[in-house]
Amino acid sequence: MTTATILPTAADLVALVHGRSVIALTGAGMSTDSGIPDYRGPDSPPRNPMTYQQFMGDAAFRRHYWARNHLGWRHMDAARPNTGHRALAALERAGTVRGVLTQNVDLLHTKAGSRSVIDLHGSYMQVRCMACEHRTSRIALAERLDAVNPGFAESVSAATGVEIAPDADAVIEDTAHFRVVDCERCGGTLKPDIVYFGESVPRERVDAAYAMVEAADVLLVLGSSLTVQSGLRFVRHAAKRGMPVAIVNRGATRGDDYAELKLHAGCSETLTALAGSA
């Protein structure tokens, strides 16, 4: 007679974190319930994420990107925190969660009320000049792009509708007529202040994240496949220090071998249950 495998539940996660301080590491699966798609979820279509080399090396590629982003960032700006974001903020107020490290650029943790947040990959709301380092808001850039591309957003939406991809991007094909703008201060190339694939997270941000992990008792991974090193390094660091690692994700992750507990579940329902026990 065989014994059925008993899979971990939210109750097991509640027991693991009881009386302990938690740092949350979140990925794209945290925001899918807010209508923001991910790259690697079980139901996600194949997508090619932006690389730093593509963006910086090809003016035509940059034009294509900015045209798509000119539509897509508005969708991300309109997104609202889901029950998972709100539950995580409530857990911080209750003293269970000490902080959030997020790989997302959507600012939804901050919008939900989380106060101790490190945006590992930056945010969609800021734009950086690659020559002089001047930073400006995405709203200000939108006004400049609207001025040199009158009617663009309305004409594309009316003709084809707009499918939103991750990282404040919209899926449109005909962008040859779109005009880009350069830095108002020095004429340099503008880039979203987001860490692309092939680009490194700033050292001071990484150091602050390590310090946050080391100040807690448990690392809780939420909605991340941990495919990229920017998130996986913290799981390895926690495991090396003997900290329990718990993972909540629909599907396998690169950190599963380090996890004391792995839930194949959604973030929103799991965090709602965890907040209800706090």
Give the active site residues: 121
Are 88 and 112 in contact by the 8 Å Cβ rule? The answer is yes
| Gap between the Cα atoms of 102 and 92, Å rounded | 15
Amino acid found at 47: R
| Gap between the Cα atoms of 90 and 22, Å rounded | 13
Instruction: Give how far Cα 149 sits from Cα of 66, 106, 261, Å.
Output: 12, 25, 51
| Gap between the Cα atoms of 175 and 188, Å rounded | 21
Instruction: Tally Cβ neighbours within 10 Å of residue 91.
Output: 23
| Gap between the Cα atoms of 239 and 264, Å rounded | 20
Q: How far is CA 258 from the centre of its chain?
A: 22
| Gap between the Cα atoms of 90 and 276, Å rounded | 9
Are 81 and 114 in contact by the 8 Å Cβ rule? The answer is no
DSSP label of 3: P
Are 141 and 125 in contact by the 8 Å Cβ rule? The answer is no
Q: How far is CA 254 from the centre of its chain?
A: 17
